[in-house]
A and B are shown apart, each in its own frame.
Chain A
Amino acid sequence: MSATLKQPFGAAFFDRHRCASHRAKLTTLIALVPALTLFAAFWLLPFSRLLLMGAEADRSSGVSAYLTLLTHRQYLISLATTVTLSLAVSVAAVAIAGFAGFFLARHRFAGQSLLVAILTFPLAFPGVVVGFLVIMLGGRQGALAQTSLWLFGERWVFAYSLFGLFIGYLYFSIPRVITTVMAACDNLDQSLEEAARSLGASHWRVMRDVIIPGIAPALLSTGAICFATSMGAFGTAFTLGTRLPILPLNIYGEFTNYANFAMAAALSVVLGLITWAALALARKLASNALGASV
């Protein structure tokens, strides 16, 4: 009895299924259209314009801004400074926050969650606020200046230098690294450590042979995110001083002070390429990381 009934029923089912799959594709498309339209109209089109704009003549040199960028010392120095600063920040943040994050992930003690909260909440502070906090630390009235005045009778000020930027970038990078490292440590198989110890490995050997290799992808990925974020950080730099030779401030200066649109566009495109590549690398390393600029 089942054989006779099954045939027509099955056919009808597949027929309906084919029609349904057609409709399903349409539904998928309709669901995606609004986001894609918005993106195309307000990002893809404008950014293409920016891309072309960068090829136009620079105001001072008269040749293509891309070319000018690559041949003028001033821009190359900015580029090198920005990259070096961002790299230094990433390495420092990964080292400092990696260590603290590992400690917090592996120990439970009273007040531990408070420490985690203190270390992670500044994650969403905008760059301007971070800049202001650096002034609070290293400005003319900052914590350091007051301490040094009390101890040595002089004010030590670092906020308005590249070191001030370094401190500010470090400030917004640490929470990112802490969250990533803690998650990575939680996911790390604890029995790997136990196995290494059972074979006689000391604390530091376990660290070197098991833990660091185990969380290396997370460290690299979060480092790449810190790098990209620092490269593009505008708010902090803007608050601390507009004379510093770093790319975001150059872009802003070319655009507002000199109305040199071609150069501003060229610098933006180069900066964008660098941050995009760094974030793409980060995502490849840890498939669920999502970077945000400050």
Chain B
Amino acid sequence: MSQRLRFSLQLGFTLLVCLFMIVPIAMSVMAGLTENYFQGLQSGLTLRWVSEVWALYSDTIWLSIKLAMACLVITTLIGVPAAYGLLRSRHRIAHAIEELLLLPVAVPGLATALALLLVYGSYREFRASWLFILIGHVLFTLPFMVRAVHSVMHTARLPLLEEAASSLGASPWQRFFGVVVPNCASGILAGALMVVTLSIGEFNITWMLHTPLTKTLPVGLADSYASMRLEVGSAYTLVFLLMIVPLLVMIQWAGKLTGPRR
């Protein structure tokens, strides 16, 4: 009996926490779809705000997608070899390098962005282009790619597989593309999803680095929250959620693939 009661109390508490997490999202989604939020649902449902967001901010969405894709390509090209290098380095060196690469994540994005502005802000062309933001995103997301790939390489006992491959006469290139890459594909996938999600949502660095012509989705969101009707901000948030939630679902799914097997 008391066990029943205990279970109910704990469940009730957990449900309250869930409510705290879900209520604002639900309200925001509703606000983005109602004709007039101040009058409530009786004013009618509409896609008007969503289409207004599309008219006003579609370029931010495209820029965010472009940035995320570019970021993904670069972090994959740099991150997978780096993870491979870490795996083959002596433990202490690998640890130190990993610590270093993690710094842009450990230090607030604001600081990273300020530092970039101080050194590279004076190169006008570079400063004004989306590539400037891309640098920030790559710095911020690279450790996640390296970490995901590295841990999969580690659990796949890659050094052992490689020794087996070289005992059969495989050259370093053959080993890298024939043994290393296929065996850490799940890590690359997990890392890639993480990189894309983080890049699309990145605000702290981007806000400092953006120009009026290089606004990303979160920058546009902040802009709309400050200067637009609540319904527009909500509709914009809804668009963002529609982009990010599938990615999150995929991350969970990929996590099950690469997670510890029992």
Alpha-carbon gap, A34 to B146, bound state (A): 13
Chain A residues positioned under 8 Å from B37 (CB to CB):
141
The segment out of A1-9, A67-75, A124-132, A192-200 that lies at the interface is A124-132
Q: Which 7 A-B pairs have the closest CB atoms?
A: A232-B108, A31-B85, A46-B115, A32-B85, A268-B111, A133-B24, A35-B82
Binary contact readout B102-118 vs A (1 if CB under 8 angstroms, 0 otherwise)? 11111111111011101
Is B222 a contact partner of A235 (Cβ separation < 8 A)?
yes
Is A276 a contact partner of B103 (Cβ separation < 8 A)?
yes
Is B78 a contact partner of A126 (Cβ separation < 8 A)?
no
Is A132 a contact partner of B237 (Cβ separation < 8 A)?
yes
For the complex, is B35 an interface residue (Cβ under 8 Å from A)? no
For the complex, is B186 an interface residue (Cβ under 8 Å from A)? no
Q: What residue of chain A has the Cβ atom nearest to residue B233's Cβ?
A: A132
- Whether A124 touches B112, Cβ cut-off 8 Å, given contacts A32-B81, A97-B17, A118-B22, is no
B116 nearest CB across to chain A (Å): 5
Within 8 A of A (CB), among B173-222: 197-198, 201-204, 207-208, 218, 221-222
Chain A residues positioned under 8 Å from B14 (CB to CB):
99-100, 103-104, 115
Is B107 a contact partner of A292 (Cβ separation < 8 A)?
no
For the complex, is B139 an interface residue (Cβ under 8 Å from A)? yes
Q: What residue of chain A has the Cβ atom nearest to residue B108's Cβ?
A: A232
For the complex, is B172 an interface residue (Cβ under 8 Å from A)? yes
Interface residue from A32, A203, A228, A234 paired with B109 (Cβ < 8 Å): A234
A251 nearest CB across to chain B (Å): 5
Q: What residue of chain B has the Cβ atom nearest to residue A37's Cβ?
A: B78
Is A47 a contact partner of B222 (Cβ separation < 8 A)?
no
**Chain A interface mostly helix, strand, loop or mixed?**
helix
**Chain B interface mostly helix, strand, loop or mixed?**
helix
Alpha-carbon gap, A20 to B82, bound state (A): 20
List 13 extra interface pairs beyond A123-B248, A228-B106, A290-B143, CB under 8 A: A34-B77, A42-B120, A46-B112, A49-B115, A103-B13, A119-B18, A121-B248, A128-B225, A143-B27, A268-B111, A276-B106, A290-B102, A292-B144
Q: What residue of chain A has the Cβ atom nearest to residue B27's Cβ?
A: A136
Chain B residues positioned under 8 Å from A119 (CB to CB):
17-18, 21
- Whether A232 touches B110, Cβ cut-off 8 Å, given contacts A35-B82, A131-B225, A291-B105, is yes
The interface centre, meaning the residue of B10, B17, B221, B233 with most chain A CB atoms within 10 A of its CB, is B17
A12 nearest CB across to chain B (Å): 14
Chain A residues positioned under 8 Å from B139 (CB to CB):
38-39, 42-43
* Count of residues in A whose CB is under 8 Å from the partner chain: 87
Interface residue from A39, A44, A129, A134 paired with B237 (Cβ < 8 Å): A129
The interface centre, meaning the residue of A99, A103, A129, A132 with most chain B CB atoms within 10 A of its CB, is A129
Alpha-carbon gap, A234 to B204, bound state (A): 6
Alpha-carbon gap, A38 to B245, bound state (A): 31
Chain A residues positioned under 8 Å from B203 (CB to CB):
126-128, 234-235
Q: Which residues of chain A have a CB within 8 Å of any CB of chain B?
A: 20, 23-24, 27-32, 34-36, 38-39, 42-47, 49-50, 53, 96-97, 99-100, 103-104, 107, 109, 115, 117-129, 131-137, 141-143, 171, 174-175, 203, 228, 231-232, 234-235, 238-239, 248, 251-252, 255, 261, 264-265, 268-269, 271-272, 275-276, 279-280, 288, 290-294
- Whether A129 touches B107, Cβ cut-off 8 Å, given contacts A43-B112, A119-B17, A203-B6, is no
Q: What residue of chain B has the Cβ atom nearest to residue A236's Cβ?
A: B203
Is B25 a contact partner of A39 (Cβ separation < 8 A)?
no
Chain A residues positioned under 8 Å from B204 (CB to CB):
127, 232, 234-235, 293-294
Is B79 a contact partner of A35 (Cβ separation < 8 A)?
yes
Interface residue from B7, B21, B109, B111 paired with A47 (Cβ < 8 Å): B111
Alpha-carbon gap, A118 to B172, bound state (A): 46
Q: What residue of chain A has the Cβ atom nearest to residue B86's Cβ?
A: A32
- Whether A269 touches B111, Cβ cut-off 8 Å, given contacts A143-B24, A235-B203, is yes
A65 nearest CB across to chain B (Å): 13
Is A35 a contact partner of B101 (Cβ separation < 8 A)?
yes
A149 nearest CB across to chain B (Å): 12
Is A47 a contact partner of B115 (Cβ separation < 8 A)?
yes
Interface residue from B207, B221, B247 paired with A129 (Cβ < 8 Å): B221
Interface residue from B38, B198, B208 paired with A124 (Cβ < 8 Å): B198
Chain A residues positioned under 8 Å from B247 (CB to CB):
124
For the complex, is B31 an interface residue (Cβ under 8 Å from A)? yes
Q: Can you give 7 A-B contacts (C-beta < 8 A)?
A: A31-B85, A42-B116, A46-B116, A124-B201, A141-B37, A171-B20, A264-B114
Alpha-carbon gap, A195 to B191, bound state (A): 40
For the complex, is B23 an interface residue (Cβ under 8 Å from A)? yes
Interface residue from B78, B119, B151, B222 paired with A288 (Cβ < 8 Å): B151
Alpha-carbon gap, A150 to B100, bound state (A): 54
Is B21 a contact partner of A293 (Cβ separation < 8 A)?
no
Is B225 a contact partner of A24 (Cβ separation < 8 A)?
no
A53 nearest CB across to chain B (Å): 6
Chain A residues positioned under 8 Å from B108 (CB to CB):
231-232, 234, 248, 268, 271-272, 275, 293
